[in-house]
Amino acid sequence: MKANPGMDLLHYIALVSAFLGAAFVVNNFLTYIFDLPGLLGTLAFLGLTFLQSEVQEYTGVAVVLGLIQSVSFILAVFLPFLILRRQSGSRDEVFLNNCSEIIVSAAFWSVMLIGIVDAAISFVRIEGLLPVIVGEDLALSLGKPVFRGTYVHIPLLLLGTLIACYRRGIDFIWLALLIVFGELLIVITRFIFSYEQAFMGDLVRFWYAGLFLFSSAYTLVHDGHVRVDVIYANFSDKVQAYTNIYGSFLLGIPLCWVVIIRGCWSETSPFNLALLNFEVTQQGFGMYVKYLMSGFLIVFALSMLFQFSSYIIRYMNNLEGIKKDATIG
């Protein structure tokens, strides 16, 4: 099959976009949690200070790790080259789609587990039973957002990611049922036993935000995002494919990038601020998961970035399939 340079370029950009997004997000957390230089810090260290004005002092280990971080960005740019060369003409949409599914699945399992565990802790804590069960010291620590985040949420997050490696797919749809049951819990305890606590509302909100943000990628693939299809429906397959390819490029991918970059550019960007400081609600005895809800948008942006890239490649395949049909016919 003949190579198509224009399409290849788009293919390349789609891949780079997805990889860079992943590299950016992963490095973002590494940089701020472990106080590493990151790409910009490393560049500044090497004397390229055009993007970062102040040069920080780093230890030797940090500099090495910073170099590795920088390499990951370089890889994100060069790996797609190799992929394109190796595939030479055929385009693989499945890999990117799988990445998106794993991201969403990991987010779902984490959110489900953290929701249940944190709600249980909050409940026990309000009723004053926490010291009885885990002892005074641990109870006191569990009342601190940083401790609960580090020793309860993060292990669960890792567990969720582990489960996701074995179970990518559409488990996230269970959030729909979970929010029904979560709200039902409120109904039962409130109307029968006049018992209502902040953590119950927090739990439902936590899951509902997850539901619509995590299912966006799946909805895109299955054409669930509504279109104004007055004209679209009358387009030929070819024009529809072009619409989706260029639409994803010009409208979809920039959106994901804006979310990631505006949310995580620096330590004081809104999502980083919430995540790194384990932000919680001001309502006293609620759940301690508010900061994670900032992360939902990162999950949304990243999963959509991969999904859009996959989507673009899918419609390129369609286009090329149509052309092939035409030449054969």
Residues that bind other proteins (CB under 8 A): 170, 172-177, 179-180, 183-184, 186-188, 190-195, 201, 204-205, 208-209, 211-213, 215-216, 218-220, 222, 224-233, 235, 240, 243-244, 247-248, 250-252, 254-255, 258-259, 262-263, 270-271, 281, 283, 290, 293-294, 296-297
| Residue whose CB is less far from other proteins, 140 or 184 | 184
Phi-psi region of 109 (alpha: psi -120 to 50; beta: other; left: phi over 0): alpha
Do residues 259 and 126 make contact, with C-beta atoms less than 8 angstroms apart?
A: no
| Residue whose CB is less far from other proteins, 80 or 252 | 252
Closest approach, Cβ 318 to other proteins, in A, equals 15
| Residue whose CB is less far from other proteins, 83 or 186 | 186
Closest approach, Cβ 134 to other proteins, in A, equals 23
Closest approach, Cβ 212 to other proteins, in A, equals 4
Q: How far is CA 241 from CA 37, 73, 186, 238, in A?
A: 42, 30, 46, 5
Closest CA to 41 of 8, 76, 65: 65
Closest approach, Cβ 88 to other proteins, in A, equals 30
Closest CA to 168 of 314, 66, 307, 308: 307
Closest approach, Cβ 187 to other proteins, in A, equals 5
Rg of the chain (C-alpha set): 23
| Residue whose CB is less far from other proteins, 158 or 180 | 180
| Residue whose CB is less far from other proteins, 254 or 321 | 254
Two tokens, residue 207: 């899951």
Closest CA to 304 of 241, 240, 242, 253: 253
Closest CA to 299 of 271, 269, 266, 268: 271
Q: Which residue is associated with the tokens 């973002």? A: 28
| Residue whose CB is less far from other proteins, 156 or 253 | 253
Cα distance between residue 159 and residue 64, in whole Å: 29
Closest approach, Cβ 79 to other proteins, in A, equals 26
| Residue whose CB is less far from other proteins, 70 or 307 | 307
Cα distance between residue 264 and residue 275, in whole Å: 10
| Residue whose CB is less far from other proteins, 65 or 299 | 299
Cα distance between residue 111 and residue 167, in whole Å: 15
Closest approach, Cβ 6 to other proteins, in A, equals 19
Cα distance between residue 263 and residue 29, in whole Å: 12
**Backbone φ and ψ of 289, nearest 5°:** -110, 10
Closest approach, Cβ 3 to other proteins, in A, equals 28
